[in-house]
C-alpha cells in the first residue's frame, strides 16, 4: 500500500469549510492526481496517472473514497476485493494492484485489499487517515467480507536502520512499542495484526527501503479461526452501535481561555481515543471563564463578559470536533443573539465542521433572576452522521412535551447538558430524563458539572451524577442505565447504544409507548417553527 501523511498546520475550521467523506467519482480524478503528486513528491514513489485512477474507479467504484474540504480533495483511499489465495500470500505492490490500475479486483473475493491511503500534508492532525480507515471497515462489514488485508509502509526504517541493524528488528521494536513508526504504529492502533515482513514490496519506496508489512484486520461480525486466539479481543466496537461519552466536568478556577480549552481538549481526546461518535459536556461549562477575573463580577457584568467569548469558543470547539473526528455536544454557553436577547445555547459541533445550536426553551428562575436569560422558541432535531438527535438543556427535560416534539421528528438519542447545585435539583432532572427515556423509547445522555467556582455568582457549588439512560425492557440494561458515574467526581462514562434495539422495542417490546398513544384523544401541537 502506498501511504504517506505529511505534516502541516492548516486550520480547517477557521474559514467555515466543511469536511466530508464520500465515495470517489470520475470527476474527482484530476484532484486525486494532484493530491498524489503532492503527497509522494520526493519519496521516490510515482504518483498515480489519470489512466490508473480511471481503472481503479471503474473496476470497483464503491471501494474508492475521498475526503473533501468543501470542493478540495484532501484524502484518497482505494480498495478492491481479493481472494485469500492471493491476498494472504506474499506479493509485490505491482503484482497485487496490476501496476496501479486495480484490475485484480475479484467480485467474489472474500477479503478487501487496501491499495492506497494518501492524505494532504496541509491537513495532518485532523484524523483524515482515521476517517478513511473507518470508511474501509464499514465497507468490509457491509459486504460481509472476512476482513481487510494489505501491505503497509515502514517510512521510519531508513532513518533507523543503523540503530536496529535490520528491518526485522525494527519491525519487532514497533510491534512491541519500543519504537514508533508514523504509518505502522497507526495501523496497529487501528486493530491490524502483522502477518509478515515483505522485502521488495515497493522498491521505489526509499523511506521504507522497499520493505512492506503484511497486515490484516478481521471483520468482528465474522467468526475467526481458533488459531487467531492471540488477537486482541477486548475493547471492540460493534459496527451497528453509536458510542457516546459523557463528561462529568469539574469547575475550577482557570487563568486564561487557553487553559480552559486545554481542559476541554483533554476530555475530547480521551473520549475520541475510545472511538466514540459523541462527547457531551455540561450546561454552562463556560462560566468557568468568569474565574479568570480577579474579582467577582455583578450578574450583568458576568453575562457581558461571557458573551464576548462566543466567537472564540465556537471556533475552538469546531476545530476540536474536526481534529479529533468526533461530534461534540458543547454543553451550553450564554449567548447574546442578534435581537439583543441573551439565550442559554447548546452548540453541537459536527466532526465534518458544521455547527448547529439549540437554545434552552425554559430558563430556570435563577437564570432569569441572576442573568436575565430568556428562552428560545425553536426546537428541531439535529441531523448527524449517526442519525437525528435532540438536545434539551437541563430544565427543558422536565417538560415532556419538548421530548415528544423531538421524537415526533425522529430523534432517537436525547442529549441533556445540565447544571444543578445540590442533590434535590439533580434528582428532578435525573428522574425526568429517565421518564423521557421510557415514555419515548429513546436513549437519554446526561452530562453535569461538579466542583465549585468561588467569586462566580450562582455557581458556588455543583452536584452531578452523569449517566446514559435507556428504556426499561429486555433489550436494554436491567435498570435502564447503560452507564453512570460516581457522584461529584470528575470522570467520564461511555456506552454503546444500538438504534436497532429502540426500533425492536417500539414495535415488539413488552410495552410499546409510542405505538399505543391515543391519537384520538390527545396530541402534541407545536406552535413554533
Active-site residues, by number, are: 283, 360, 394
Q: How far apart are CA 79 and CA 136, in angstroms?
A: 8
Measured CA to CA, the distance from residue 74 to residue 122 in angstroms comes to: 8
C-alpha radius of gyration, the chain, whole number? 26
> Helices marked H in 150-250 — which ranges?
157-164, 167-175, 184-189
Q: Which residues pair with 197 in a beta bridge?
A: 213
Burial (CB count <10 Å: 0-12, 13-18, 19+), residue 529: exposed
C-alpha cell at 393: 438543556
Residues 11 and 70: their CA atoms lie apart, in Å, by 14
Q: Is 452 left (phi over 0), alpha (psi -120 to 50) or beta?
A: beta
- Measured distance CA(175)–CA(181) in Å, rounded: 9
- The secondary structure of 85-148, three-state, reads HHHCCCCCHHHHHCCCCCCCCCCCCCEEEEEEEEECHHHCCCCHHHHHHHHHHHHHHHHCCCEE
Question: Phi and psi dihedrals of 222, rounded to 5?
Answer: -110, 135
Amino acid at each position: 500500500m502506498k501511504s504517506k501523511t505529511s505534516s502541516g498546520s492548516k486550520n480547517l475550521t477557521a474559514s467555515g469549510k466543511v469536511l466530508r467523506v464520500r465515495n470517489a467519482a470520475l470527476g474527482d480524478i484530476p484532484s486525486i492526481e494532484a493530491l498524489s503528486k503532492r503527497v509522494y513528491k520526493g519519496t521516490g514513489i510515482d504518483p498515480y496517472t489519470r489512466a490508473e485512477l480511471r481503472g481503479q474507479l471503474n473496476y470497483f467504484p464503491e471501494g474508492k473514497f475521498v475526503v473533501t474540504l468543501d470542493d478540495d480533495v484532501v484524502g484518497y483511499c482505494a480498495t478492491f476485493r481479493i481472494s485469500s489465495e492471493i491476498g494472504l500470500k506474499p506479493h509485490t505492490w505491482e503484482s497485487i494492484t496490476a501496476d496501479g490500475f486495480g484490475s485484480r479486483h475479484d467480485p467474489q473475493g472474500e477479503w478487501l485489499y487496501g491499495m492506497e491511503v494518501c492524505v494532504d500534508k496541509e491537513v495532518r492532525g485532523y484524523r483524515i487517515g482515521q476517517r478513511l480507515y473507518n470508511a474501509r471497515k464499514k465497507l468490509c462489514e457491509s459486504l460481509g467480507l472476512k476482513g481487510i488485508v494489505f501491505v503497509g509502509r515502514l517510512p521510519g526504517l531508513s532513518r533507523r536502520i543503523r540503530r536496529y541493524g535490520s528491518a526485522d528488528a525494527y519491525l519487532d521494536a514497533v510491534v512491541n512499542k519500543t519504537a514508533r513508526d508514523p504509518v505502522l504504529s497507526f495501523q496497529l492502533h487501528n486493530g491490524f495484526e502483522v502477518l509478515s515482513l515483505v522485502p521488495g514490496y515497493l522498491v521505489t519506496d526509499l523511506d521504507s527501503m522497499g520493505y512492506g508489512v503484511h497486515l490484516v484486520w478481521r471483520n468482528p461480525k465474522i467468526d475467526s479461526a481458533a488459531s487467531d486466539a492471540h488477537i486482541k479481543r477486548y475493547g471492540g466496537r460493534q459496527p451497528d452501535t453509536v458510542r457516546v461519552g459523557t463528561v462529568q466536568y469539574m469547575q475550577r478556577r482557570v487563568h486564561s481561555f487557553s487553559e480552559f480549552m486545554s481542559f476541554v481538549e483533554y476530555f475530547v481526546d480521551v473520549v475520541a481515543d475510545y472511538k466514540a461518535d459523541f462527547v457531551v459536556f455540561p450546561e454552562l461549562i463556560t462560566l468557568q471563564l468568569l474565574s479568570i477575573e480577579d474579582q467577582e463580577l455583578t450578574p450583568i457584568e458576568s453575562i457581558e463578559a461571557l458573551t464576548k467569548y462566543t466567537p472564540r469558543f465556537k471556533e475552538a470547539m469546531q476545530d476540536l470536533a474536526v481534529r479529533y473526528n468526533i461530534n461534540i455536544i458543547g454543553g451550553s454557553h450564554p449567548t447574546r443573539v442578534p435581537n439583543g436577547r441573551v439565550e442559554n445555547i447548546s452548540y453541537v459541533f459536527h466532526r465534518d465542521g458544521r455547527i448547529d445550536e439549540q437554545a434552552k426553551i425554559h430558563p430556570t428562575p435563577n437564570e432569569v433572576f441572576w442573568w436575565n436569560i430568556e428562552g428560545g422558541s425553536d426546537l428541531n432535531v439535529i441531523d448527524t452522521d449517526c442519525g437525528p438527535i435532540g438536545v434539551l438543556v437541563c430544565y427543558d427535560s422536565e417538560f415532556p412535551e419538548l421530548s415528544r416534539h423531538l421524537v415526533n421528528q425522529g430523534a432517537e438519542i436525547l442529549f441533556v447538558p445540565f447544571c444543578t447545585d445540590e442533590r434535590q435539583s439533580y434528582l428532578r432532572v435525573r428522574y425526568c430524563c429517565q421518564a423521557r427515556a421510557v415514555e419515548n423509547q429513546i436513549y437519554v445522555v446526561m452530562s453535569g458539572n461538579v466542583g465549585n467556582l468561588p467569586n462566580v455568582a450562582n455557581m458556588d457549588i455543583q452536584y452531578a451524577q452523569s449517566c446514559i439512560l435507556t428504556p426499561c425492557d429486555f433489550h436494554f440494561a436491567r435498570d435502564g442505565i447503560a452507564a453512570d458515574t460516581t457522584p461529584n467526581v470528575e470522570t467520564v462514562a461511555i456506552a454503546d447504544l444500538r438504534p436497532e434495539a429502540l426500533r425492536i422495542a417500539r414495535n415488539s417490546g413488552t410495552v410499546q409507548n409510542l405505538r399505543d398513544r391515543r391519537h384520538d384523544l390527545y396530541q402534541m401541537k407545536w406552535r413554533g417553527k
